[in-house]
Amino acid sequence: MRRILLRLSYSGGGFCGSARQKGVRTVQGELEQALGRLGEGGRTLFASRTDAGVHALDAPVAVDVKRRWQPQRLLCALNAHLPEDIRVWAAEEVPSDYNPRYRALRKRYCYLLFVGIAPAAWRGFVCCVTEKLDFEKMFLAAKRLEGTRDFSGAIVRQNRRSIWTVERFTLEKATVCGGEVVCFCLEAKAFGYKMVRSLCGLVVEVGRGAVGVGQVEDVALGRREWRRVVLPSQGLWLVRVDLEGVRCGWQSSPTSTPIWQPLPPLLRT
């Protein structure tokens, strides 16, 4: 067996998440079907899982193959058998014990929020609100959520872990089609279940005036009662995963790349 690391992009609207589930359409299920059509049935190891409706520009997946595929030939063969809402855009051979889940150095998620009437072509790719938001307060609130802290009051917990480190939480906005698109960007080594959408939801509540800037840390810790807001999945994008010991992927520095740069040109209007 040889192990090939693939980089996938996918439009998440048609999937019940990335991980294989019985009886529903998933990214892993479609990838394994495509591999099966090529006579391959080895393991598929994802670096990061995404929920139903979440999109990805850079989702690393290691696959085991029996034949001596050249990485680029496997890329082309898979794209010929995959549905149009999944594409493989990079491939390279890695050691047989390489597991991208445990080699992730940093993950970047972006959440796109449109304030106003969103362009029809963006349907399913952004979350829309019509009320005005205080962007300056939202920016300050996001910065207060950076660092290592207890997020038990602001996230949906699946296990006992509540301490997480958010390395970067920034916002940018642009005027588009008579409205404003706001891009939340979060970077960390790992994120909890629905953590990105929950933290973005908290910042939006600050923009609405429901939570004060000075209260976000108490809310995150659970010292202040708050109705948790988890934003819809269609606005969330897994933009990049930096991995240890590989070449393919985004080549620019995550600290110098504008957060709009990895997004589709339509979203950088």
3-state DSSP assignment of residue 27:
helix
> Domain-by-domain residue ranges, the chain?
2-102, 108-247
β-bridge mates for residue 175, sequence order = 180
Give mean pLDDT in consecutive 10-residue pieces for the chain, a chain of 269 residues: 96 96 96 97 93 96 96 98 97 96 95 92 91 96 94 74 92 89 95 92 95 89 76 96 78 44 46
- Looking at residue 250, what is its pLDDT? 52
- Looking at residue 155, what is its pLDDT? 75
- Looking at residue 136, what is its pLDDT? 96
User: In the annotation, is 51 catalytic?
Assistant: yes
Torsion from C-alpha of 197, 200, 202, 205, nearest 10 degrees: -120
The rounded Cα 111 to chain-centroid distance in angstroms is 8
pTM: 0.89
Write down how long the chain is.
269
Helix extents (H) in 209-253 = 216-221
Same fold, 2-102 and 108-247: yes
CATH architecture of the domain covering 108-247: 2-Layer Sandwich (3.30)
Q: How far apart are CA 80 and CA 84, in angstroms?
A: 9
Is the C-alpha dihedral spanning 269, 143, 157, 226 positive or negative?
negative
Helix (H), strand (E) at residue 172 = strand 168-176
CATH architecture of the domain covering 2-102: 2-Layer Sandwich (3.30)
Helix (H), strand (E) at residue 34 = helix 27-37
- Looking at residue 41, what is its pLDDT? 87
Q: How far apart are CA 240 and CA 108, in angstroms?
A: 5
Q: How many other CB atoms sit within 10 Å of the CB of residue 207?
A: 23
Helix (H), strand (E) at residue 91 = strand 86-94
SS percent in the chain: helix, strand, coil, step 5: 25, 30, 45
